[in-house]
Amino acid sequence: MISFGGFTACQTTLQQEQTDTGTEKPDTTALSDDSLMNKIQQQTFQYFWEGAEPTSGLARERIHIDGEYPQNDQQVITTGGSGFGIMGMVVGMERGFITKTEGETRLNKIMDYLAKIPRFKGAWSHWYHGDTGKVKAFSDKDNGGDLVETAFLTQSLIVVREYFKNGTDAQQAIAKKADALWREIDWNHYTNSKNVLLWHWSPNHDFGMNHPIQGYDECLITYVLAASSPTHPIDTAVYQEGWARNGKIKSDLTKFDIPIGIKHNAQEGQVGPLFWAHYSFMGLDPMGLKDQYVNYEDVVRNHAKINIAYAEANPKQFKGYGADKGWGWTASYSITGYDAHHPDNDKSVISPTAALSSTPYTPKESLAFGRYLFNNLEDKVWGKYGFYDAYSETENWYPQRYLAIDQGPIVVMIENYRTGLVWNLFMQAPEIQAGLKKLGFQSPKLK
């Protein structure tokens, strides 16, 4: 969910630095799959490393190489996107994109920053002004805690803790800071004494946004973390009645003869944007994960397969679609601003994060997509921080713009396919083990 105002050209130091992308036309014809993934991960990682907001070290909401920004918000940082970037830093240290010392320095800075900016019963807001630490309201009443964005960030705190907890004294100090931040979140407060989690709370507007978090969309991780909290956990009934809707979350519908498996928060028979299969599952491993209603491995894999089947069918005959060409629809920039694309809301716009972040589910087609972009569209879609956010071959539309929430999953999910690194770190956390068991989940990762 991203709000845009009018676009205005901003002549800033940041813009001048970004005008020269410093990239050449990529040639990947001879690259192995492993080298191809490494190239994509390393360049995309730079969004969160070189492109970070300097005061906080966290992820800018967006970076526009073309120099036009909405709402004068070059310094606005995003909570959820920053969580994705923090997990990406763990990947970066393991891959050697940065040294351990560099990673420790940045993560120390980040943990200290997160501890001192305004929080709301322990939860963070969606946006902050990175240079001042002040909240930037997402909307009129959304000026307090955002529990879903907080959950995306909290995944990364647990990953960092698990990564560093047995390390050097300096690393263990970072792990303790991350652990303290996660323990301070009052998940139970966000039930408002009901059996459902509410997305927002503000000291000014209380629960005035009145947005219950119910499945299925990108928010499963919120319930898993809330149930796993060692300090402020929710009851199992909150999950059963809130997220799972007492079993109504289950679906027997199919699309392109592929079972959907779960009732998406979309019109009947439709699947939502593909980020629903990514954001909750960057730390939470969906492979073999199931509760009494749903097999989440089938849900996420089939979601990607439905996108591929739609690309093959290509009912609107848009240019560049196919299982070994362009596919993948999610929330991203669009020709007319920003849109939550999916097969029933196709504007000829493809978002590279959709297919690339699905690599663990559909590796053959995801890597074929990456090669297609490199070999056919080249620097139309590839720049300083990896693949640009969205494009349309049909409309000859290739904006040079990035969004944190789209870049982050590419780095992390490709790594989960390659080594399972982030999945393994998150799933080994004792609180997550206990929380999943409490909610009745089964997983090969549960001991």
Bridge-based pairing of strands 127-129 and 254-255 is: unpaired
| 421 in Cβ contact with 91 (< 8 Å) | yes
Q: In 3-state terms, what secondary structure has residue 202?
A: strand
Whole-number pLDDT of residue 28:
60
User: Rounded to whole angstroms, what are the CA distances from 346 to 86, 105, 256, 395, 430?
Assistant: 32, 43, 16, 13, 42
Question: How far is residue 261's CA from residue 278's CA, in Å, rounded to a whole number?
Answer: 16
Does residue 70 or residue 163 have the better pLDDT?
A: 163
| 370 in Cβ contact with 413 (< 8 Å) | no
Question: pLDDT (tens digit, 9 = 90+) per residue, 3-35?
Answer: 322 222 232 333 333 333 445 555 666 789 999
Q: Is the pLDDT of residue 125 over 60?
A: yes
Whole-number pLDDT of residue 6:
27
Question: How far is residue 355's CA from residue 417's CA, in Å, rounded to a whole number?
Answer: 13
| 364 in Cβ contact with 308 (< 8 Å) | no
Question: How far is residue 272's CA from residue 342's CA, in Å, rounded to a whole number?
Answer: 6
Maximal CA-CA distance, the chain: 59
Question: pLDDT (tens digit, 9 = 90+) per residue, 263-284?
Answer: 999 999 999 999 999 999 999 9
Number of H helices, E strands in the chain: 14, 17
Per-residue tokens: 257: 């003869």
Question: pLDDT (tens digit, 9 = 90+) per residue, 130-167?
Answer: 999 999 999 888 999 999 999 999 999 999 999 999 99
Mean pLDDT, rounded, for 352-356: 98
User: Rounded to whole angstroms, what are the CA distances from 349 to 57, 69, 321?
Assistant: 31, 21, 10
| 133 in Cβ contact with 117 (< 8 Å) | yes
Q: Is the pLDDT of residue 390 over 90?
A: yes
Cβ neighbours for 274, distance < 8 A, ≥ 6 positions apart:
303, 304, 307, 328, 329, 330, 342, 351, 354, 357, 358
Give one word for 193, left, alpha or beta, with left for phi > 0 and alpha for psi -120 to 50.
left
User: Rounded to whole angstroms, what are the CA distances from 74 to 59, 135, 143?
Assistant: 11, 15, 19
Cβ neighbours for 356, distance < 8 A, ≥ 6 positions apart:
40, 328, 366, 369, 370, 387, 410, 413, 414
Whole-number pLDDT of residue 62:
94
Whole-number pLDDT of residue 66:
84
Whole-number pLDDT of residue 7:
24
Q: Spell out the alpha helix ranges (H) of 96-219.
A: 100-116, 147-164, 169-183
pLDDT interval class at 73 (50, 70, 90): confident
- pTM score above 0.95: no
Bridge-based pairing of strands 331-334 and 337-340 is: antiparallel
**Omega before 163 within 30 of 0, i.e. cis:** no
Mean pLDDT, rounded, for 423-441: 98
Distance from first CA to last CA of the chain, Å, rounded? 36
Question: How far is residue 225's CA from residue 130's CA, in Å, rounded to a whole number?
Answer: 26
242 DSSP assignment: I
What domains does the chain contain, in order, with CATH numbers? Answer: 48-438 (1.50.10.140)
What phi and psi values does residue 197 have, to the nearest 5 degrees? -85, 140
Q: Is the pLDDT of residue 88 over 60?
A: yes
Whole-number pLDDT of residue 21:
40
58-67, 248-257, 285-294, 428-437: least confident range = 58-67
Per-residue tokens: 27: 């040639």
Average pLDDT, the chain: 93
